[in-house]
Amino acid sequence: MIKKLLRFNWILFFSMLALIAIGTSAIWSAGNAREAIFHGMWKAHLGTALFSLVIYFVIAFTDYHNIVRWISPILYALSLLMLVVVLFAGSTIYGGRRWLWFFQPSEIAKLCTILFLSLILSWRDEVASEKPQIDGREIIDGENDEEETSGKRSGTFKIFCAASLVAAIPAFLILIEPDLGTTLALVPAVIAMIIAANIWRKGLFAILTIFAIAASFLFGAVYEAEKPGQSAEKREAILKYVPLKNHQVKRIKTFLFPEADQMGDGYTLKQSLIAISSGEMHGRGLGKAETNRMKFLPSSVSMNDFIFCVWAEETGYMGSLLLLALFAILCSSGAYVAWRAQDTCGRILALGATTLIFAHAYINIAMCVGLVPITGLPLPFISSGRTFLLTAIIALALVQSISIHKEIEE
């Protein structure tokens, strides 16, 4: 037990606790400026955090190998089942059928997918480690180097296809809820895991290049269709070939032309920028954010997707810098655990879980300052949302388990 405590990553743990504390205070402040129904949201956030911390320690001191090998396939299958059920029996909130009773299956499915992917992507190295070896070299009977190389390429391609399918199924089910933001947050984690596993990198980069080109054409088409002065006939002719829903086109339009409709589609972004800028250096003080108190920020986002704006206005540049520094420390600690992991499974899992947290934090804050299109994505440990908070804490518990149970070679 003493050895496990010595391997416990305290920097990762305390940076997470600091972010949870900031989230609780930000939700308290945002909720007090709203209707009475929102006043107790900080208690739900804190209660979920305390409950999740119990699970955190249980998972952290459990060998992650057992979780990945024996539990991840079951969790992945259950997550797919929940994603299917929510499409037929889920509650519709803000235009998306995403809730099943009191939790959001898509948040759980992201972590279950990362867990199962770590098993799939590390399968090749697990098999290789079981082959008989002499002086660190595998014994190969009746095979020449060319056949061995060809076999490895074929194997990596098959693993890549299997991993892509494992990630694509939940991503598709989440996308049709519809929940584009959650799907986009999963993509960087999957890409990072595949790159770390050294699985068919050339093919992966080719696919990413194709998607980048397609995204460029997509943004270009929306820009051409929605630019000021464009005729309605030409706009309809262009958007007919754009595979996006109307609200998605509006979000891209707001990103490309933030000044075009500040009282309509661009209203939330405008108020977000006003709130952040009015915080100046030291902020207005907790509970004193005018944009929040005057309810210029919609209640549907002030405690969730745009809670960074509330924190930035109340604590200013220094508070925002503290928040960014804590996320940087948290993600750097997770990346360090991945780097120090002694097996492929641990390295891939730690990197996938850390990248998921990083993707959420980056996209959310970038969205608030207008660097990326607006999408519904919470800020880890800060935004109100019990399912995502639980998922984020468990993700870091898995990283902590890798730190504790890795075999350190001195």
pLDDT tens readout for residues 158-217: 888 999 999 999 999 998 887 888 888 899 999 999 999 888 888 888 888 988 998 899
Work out the percent of the chain whose per-residue pLDDT is above 70: 87
- Report the pLDDT averaged over residues 7-27: 94
Residue 249 lies in a domain: yes
Q: Which helix (H) or strand (E) holds 331?
A: helix 307-340
Residue 115 located in a structural domain: yes
Structure tokens, 38: 């929102």
pLDDT at 155: 62
Residue 135 forms part of a structural domain:
no
The set of residues, in sequence order, having a beta carbon less than 8 Å from that of 386 and lying 6+ positions away, is 44, 45, 48, 102, 103
* In a domain? residue 38: yes
pLDDT of residue 409: 40
Where residue 135 falls (left for φ over 0; alpha for ψ -120 to 50; beta otherwise) is left
In which region does residue 142 sit, left (phi positive, over 0), alpha (psi from -120 to 50) or beta (all else)?
A: left
CA distance 361 to 372: 12
H-type alpha helices, 9-144: 10-32, 41-60, 64-66, 72-89, 105-121, 123-130
Could you tell me the two tokens for 82?
Answer: 């929940």
User: Using CA of residue 365, residue 369, residue 371, residue 374, what is the dihedral sign?
Assistant: positive
How much is the pLDDT for 397?
Answer: 97
- Could you give the CA distance from residue 177 to residue 23 in angstroms, rounded to a whole number? 27
297 domain residue, yes or no: yes
| Residue 385 in this model has a pLDDT that exceeds 90 | no
Alpha helices in 176-306 (DSSP H): 180-196, 201-226, 232-239, 246-256, 267-278, 290-293, 299-302
Is 142 contained in some domain? no
Which domain does 115 fall in, by range?
2-128+147-405
Which of 395, 327, 69, 334 is closest to 196 using CA atoms? 334
Quick one: average pLDDT of 134-148? 49
- Indicate the pLDDT class of residue 126, thresholds 50, 70 and 90: low
What are the tens digits of pLDDT across the range 300-322?
677 888 899 989 999 999 999 99
Strand pairing report for 133-134 and 137-138: antiparallel
Q: Of 36-45, 121-130, 270-279, give the lowest mean pLDDT range.
A: 121-130
Could you tell me if 259 and 355 are in contact, meaning their C-beta atoms sit under 8 angstroms apart? Answer: no
Instruction: Give, for 170, the enclosing helix (H) or strand (E).
Output: helix 145-175
Residue 140: band (very low, low, confident or very high) from pLDDT cuts 50, 70, 90: very low
Query: Which of 335, 331, 268, 329 minimizes the C-alpha distance to 298?
Result: 268
Count of C-beta atoms within a 10 Å radius of residue 262: 14
Nearest Cα to Cα of residue 79 among 114, 32, 43: 114
- pLDDT tens digits along 57-75: 999 999 999 999 999 999 9
Per the structure, the count of domains in the chain is 1
Name the 3-class secondary structure at 99: strand
What's residue 324's pLDDT? Answer: 96
pLDDT of residue 96: 66
Closest alpha carbon to 392 in 19, 9, 72, 21:
19
Virtual CA dihedral for 288, 290, 296, 299, nearest 10 degrees?
0
Q: Classify residue 101 as exposed, middle or buried by CB count within 10 Å of its CB (0-12, 13-18, 19+).
A: exposed
Q: For 219-259, how does the pLDDT look when each residue is reduced to its tens digit (9 = 90+)?
A: 898 888 888 878 888 888 888 888 887 878 888 888 888 77
For residue 262, the model assigns a pLDDT of 67
Task: Kindly report the average pLDDT of the chain as a whole number.
Answer: 85
pLDDT at 355 over 90: yes
Q: Count CA atoms closer than 13 A to 300's CA, side-chain side.
A: 6
Alpha-carbon 396 to chain mean position:
12
Q: Which residues of 294-311 are buried (b: 16+ CB within 10 A; e: fewer)?
A: eebbebebbbbbbbbbbb
Provide the 10 A C-beta neighbour count for residue 230: 13
345 or 96: whose pLDDT is higher?
A: 345
CB 19 within 8 A of CB 380: yes
Q: Is residue 139 part of a domain?
A: no
Does 370 fall in a domain?
Answer: yes
93 forms bridges with which residues in the sheet? 96
The confidence band for 29, taking pLDDT boundaries of 50, 70 and 90, is: confident
User: What is the average per-residue pLDDT within 285-310?
Assistant: 78
